[in-house]
Chain A
Amino acid sequence: MILWELLGDHTFRTVLLGTMGVGAVSGSIGCFAYLRRQSLVGDVVAHSSLLGIVLFFLISYWLTGEGSKSLFVLIPGAMVAGVLALGLSQWIVSCTSVRADSGLGVMLAIFFGTGIMLLRWVQKANPPIPGRRGLDSYLFGMAASMTWADLVMIAIVGVGSIAVMLLLWKELKVFTFDPLLAQSLGYRTRWLDWLMIGIFVNGIVIGIQCIGVVLIIAMLVAPAAAARQWTESLESMVVLAAVIGASCAAIGTVVSAVVSGIPTGPVIVLAGATVVLGSILFAPKRGILFGGRKRASAAMQVRFRESSK
């Protein structure tokens, strides 16, 4: 069978492991972004990270004479740019009358625009910059270029942020649900806020290679949105989102390996979108089809009771 052949291939196994890991980590972290309604924050981090990626590529070129595309170089760049964009937008909001969502939008535009410009320059520079080829694949992702070293970096960042999330589970949970209670219980909420943002940033930057900066936000939001429809506790929601994220990643990776000319990242994202659509249609309690029917029958009963009075 073709799947067995694929699994025998070392490169394919590396890529599959990497994308599934990214799917699971981004999916579970995304639950907090979803519940805190911070999808836009995630998207700002994702888009802004392009600038950091290109800048750190250039720094590695100036230092060594060849631009590096190792995730050990580019992920820290993405983190710095993402956090800087958020920090600057908060600063603008705090000292002007610009509202939070506009502040975020402006930073996204500035960082992503500058990133695109620099990326173009890197590609067109004369004489050519060694190592530049493939740098543009960080826009839409190129899972096939994943190496073992990249996998190690993804594992470090992913396992690190999941570990922090589990250790501080109850603190992050109460902070997400009710920041006022968290503060009155004596937690340092400013600190928790930045910790949460740090975890979001990690969940985003590990996916820049296989999904790309433009689409990675989908891996944060889609599994969470789907999982919420089926679950009734934060614990089960996070676990289910991780499973959905990993499964979509596996589907995308296999499909793009089997069908030639199909890119991995977009297929993964489309698989996620399909699961979301299916969930909001068919989920037993909250789905449009069955949940809606329940609501309709309740409304009918009320009407019946009133008319029979």
Chain B
Amino acid sequence: MTVPAIQVEKLTVTYDAEPVLWDIDLTVPQRVVMGLVGPNGAGKSTLLKSILDLTPKLAGQIKVLGQPFAANRKAIGYVPQRSSIDWDFPTTVLDLVVMGTYGRLGWFRRPGERERADAMAALKRLGMDAYAERQINELSGGQQQRAFLARAFVQDAPIYFLDEPFAGVDVPTEKLIVQLLHELRDEGKTIVVVQHDLKTVGEYLDQVSLINQTLVASGDVESSFSEQLIEETYSGRSRICSPIVKGDA
């Protein structure tokens, strides 16, 4: 069996004295689309950030493709929540996507024709090539998300983390993103998404991890996304959830 894409062992994260994540053991195999599912404040984004070392950990080990994270940090392309940046920054869509290539350029070197061509190709894949010269503050929510994804694609990482890629985007964009994630998986990439909508879990994801401070369950959607486990994850909270797992999902 191949090494897992991500292996998290005994991860604990706290903000001040409040535990956010508690003793998480999680394995993400290669070539899957895995969703992190759980209520608000369950620590889904924090899990992504602590794997990426963007948030301090109290305890825990992270391995990326069998290596410690520090040795393999460029293996993960990260798409943060759209709201995490200032969309009024003076830059064009193309320029935003070119920033994804900075990692491979190293210090001092400027992006050139090749980087711009790669960025255009990524924009084309997301149906955004017509917007290349637009200012980023002229984009709709869905277009912003597409531009963000294009930027991640030019990083050409084997693993992608997407924090709420479907938040506030239009339906066509959501469909396009899902289709792309499946294409990327078929090309051999591993994708981890934070997902809010429980209704689409069966349709969008191969694997699911149910999180609420602790890891409630993790594995194939068929086995892990059961009504009982979801109940446990969201325990005590009122929630609306229509169809649970379709048998043949």
| Residue ranges of A at the interface with B (Cβ–Cβ < 8 Å) | 35, 167-171, 173-174, 176-178, 180-181, 183-186, 228, 231-234, 236-237
Contact = CB atoms under 8 A, between A and B. Distances in A.
Contacts, number: 69
B74 A170 contact: no
B106 to A, nearest CB: 10
A232 B155 CA distance: 25
B52 A170 contact: no
Contacts of B76: 184
B18 interface: no
Interface of B: 52-54, 73-74, 76-78, 80, 84-86, 89-92, 95-96, 99-100, 102-103, 105, 107-108, 110-111, 135, 151, 155
A39 to B, nearest CB: 15
B90 A228 contact: yes
A237 B90 contact: yes
Contacts of A237: 90
B103 A183 contact: no
Interface of A is mostly: helix
Contacts of B95: 233
Contact of B111 (A170, A184, A186, A233): A170
Nearest to A37: B86
Contacts of A233: 90-92, 95
B108 A167 contact: yes
B78 A178 contact: no
12 contacts: A35-B90, A170-B99, A170-B110, A178-B84, A178-B99, A180-B78, A181-B99, A181-B100, A183-B52, A185-B102, A185-B155, A234-B89
A178 B111 CA distance: 17
A177 B147 CA distance: 14
A169 B91 CA distance: 14
Contacts of B73: 184, 186
Contacts of B92: 232-233
Name, among A170, A171, A176, A183, the residue most crowded by chain B CB atoms within 10 Å (CB to CB): A170
Contacts of B53: 183
Contacts of B135: 232
A169 B110 contact: yes
